[in-house]
Amino acid sequence: MIDSFLRFLELEKRLSKHTVIAYKTDLLQFQVFTNQTFEVSDPSEANYGMVRSWLAHLVEEKNEPRSVNRKIATLRAYFKFLLRQGSISKDPTLKIKVLKTQKRLPTFVREEEMNNLLDRTVFDDTFEGFRDKLILELFYGSGMRLAELLQLTDKAISFKNRTIKVLGKRNKERVIPFGESLVPIIKDYQQTRDKTINKADHGLLIVTDDGKPAYRMLIQRAVRKYLNATSTEKKSPHVLRHSYATHLLNKGAEINAVKDLLGHSSLAATQVYTHNTMEKLKKTFEQAHPKA
């Protein structure tokens, strides 16, 4: 039934492969626990007590509340699927409550640091150097996700309209505008790539040194390498996405427009960036207002 559920997520829910793998990992962990603890090898036979015991075990093992809550969401989705299939008559997760979590503000690079990183960093005059610069510029210049960058094709870029068409979560397409300064950076990279790399016929923009599709670790390493020069604790591609959204709002962008640019399905996901903007407004008030 786990395999059927995973196929349902991939084919009908159209979730990304990365998300499906996360669901699979959670369910296999639950299966191992019920097998070892209760001698129940089929997760579909689990009851409320087994689910609760697993969650208590996760907490005892010092798993973060957010991680535990994600596993709760996995089980809820799985048992809901089994109910619809008629494989079970009762959902054992109905009375399960999520753990309380602290709200974490998105980590972002300050605007001055971001400008220094992109404008003053000397990138190697090699294919890797052109690729690294493009990766940083695309993340910060479009706010796209790592998974979206990995799937980005040459044909998805319109230099005439200065737009990029990306395939987001649940295979939803969206069009992102980009600045004129990004045009020569993309073209320089493409020219260098096409002259020096034997690119396979996959049409993807970002490739490895031997022309194969880029992979997550390659992108993450490139971003971490350059973010080490900034003051942010986190050094991930998502930090650049956070920086993109935060700087837009700081400059007065309308929150609904930022929501659409980021590809968020609800405004609640975008509103987290307003906390950073509010902190900046508070500092401005405290510095400038006579009664502050």
Residues of the chain with CATH 1.10.150: 2-85
pLDDT at residue 286, rounded to an integer: 78
- Match 């069009």 to its residue by tokens: 175
Residue 289 appears among annotated catalytic residues:
no
Residue 241 appears among annotated catalytic residues:
yes
Among residues 133, 241, 247, 259, the one annotated as catalytic is: 241
Q: How far apart are CA 280 and CA 250, in angstroms?
A: 8
pLDDT at residue 277, rounded to an integer: 65
- CATH node for 2-85: 1.10.150
Mean pLDDT of the chain: 92
pLDDT band of residue 269 (cuts 50, 70, 90) is confident
CB 72 within 8 A of CB 93: yes
Residue 145 appears among annotated catalytic residues:
yes
pLDDT band of residue 278 (cuts 50, 70, 90) is low
Q: How far apart are CA 144 and CA 178, in angstroms?
A: 11
Nearest alpha-carbon partner for 47 in 62, 60, 37: 37
pLDDT at residue 291, rounded to an integer: 72
pLDDT tens digits, one per residue of 182-206: 999 999 999 999 999 987 789 999 9
Residue 238 appears among annotated catalytic residues:
yes
pLDDT tens digits, one per residue of 106-151: 899 999 999 999 999 999 999 999 999 999 999 999 999 999 999 9
pLDDT tens digits, one per residue of 52-108: 999 999 999 999 999 999 999 999 999 999 999 999 999 999 999 999 887 777 899
Q: How far apart are CA 194 and CA 192, in angstroms?
A: 6
Q: Which residue would you say has higher pLDDT here, 233 or 127?
A: 127
pLDDT band of residue 169 (cuts 50, 70, 90) is confident
Q: How far apart are CA 54 and CA 49, in angstroms?
A: 9
Write b or e for each residue in 190-209: b if 16 or more Cβ atoms lie within 10 A of its Cβ, otherwise e.
Answer: bebbeeebebeeeebbbbee
Report whether CATH 1.10.443.10 matches the domain 111-286: yes
Residues of the chain with CATH 1.10.443.10: 111-286
Find the distance separating the first CA and the last CA of the chain, reported in whole Å.
Answer: 61
Q: What is the pTM of this model?
A: 0.71
Among residues 145, 193, 235, 242, the one annotated as catalytic is: 145
pLDDT at residue 292, rounded to an integer: 64
Among residues 52, 110, 162, 169, the one annotated as catalytic is: 169
Q: How far apart are CA 71 and CA 52, in angstroms?
A: 12
Stretch 245-256: mean pLDDT, rounded? 92
